[in-house]
Chains A and B, each alone.
Chain A
């Protein structure tokens, strides 16, 4: 598994909270650092792709494991 600098567990949260929490966490991080997000909202898969595309933070990895979705976001 790829390395990450911070982790955010957004399990159980529904739209738009995983995105809002991720954005808030990224705000406190430095450029180039990687945030790992865990979410259970199936809509978050598309949403994190869209978030990355629009904000320029790179979605390095996106995966699913036992009903949980994980995302690695590299801060712009």
Chain B
């Protein structure tokens, strides 16, 4: 067991685009034989919800490629975020990019351990019934128990 590499990830973001790096890296690392753990904190907790309703926005993200240039003031119009999210999902599907649900399922299947930050759950008054089964709840010390032994440690 001791020759098994370890990957520790902290997932702090809850938008559709930022949901990808933790699950892509965790599932791939597991396939490569890494023992992998993700610690979800703050907005990252969205990624543990049974019903994922992750959105993407171009606001505050000037690097997001747009099919046509849209002035920032227009991007604030109600419905724009939903439209961009739907366009992004369509684009991802057409390019053969996995959905977050699929990557999360593959990560769980590959025994990636998922830990939800108890403090943030309390802070935002989340109901643990809304989270997927099989996750653990813990704090910073729980994170370090695994991260301290890790070969790769990422903050996303």
Residues of A within 8 A of B (CB): 12-17, 19-20, 23, 40-41, 51, 54-55
Contacts and interface: CB of A to CB of B under 8 A. Distances in A.
B38 to A, nearest CB: 15
Interface of B: 24, 27-28, 31-33, 95-98, 103, 106, 110
Find the residue from A15, A23, A41 having the highest chain B CB count within 10 A: A23
Contacts, number: 33
A54 B32 contact: yes
Contact of B33 (A13, A19, A40, A55): A55
B24 A15 contact: yes
A16 B96 contact: no
Contact of B27 (A20, A40, A54): A20
Contact of A20 (B28, B33, B95): B28
Given A14-B96, A16-B27, A17-B98, 16 more contacts: A13-B98, A14-B95, A14-B98, A15-B24, A16-B24, A16-B31, A16-B103, A19-B28, A19-B31, A20-B28, A20-B31, A20-B110, A40-B96, A51-B31, A54-B33, A55-B31
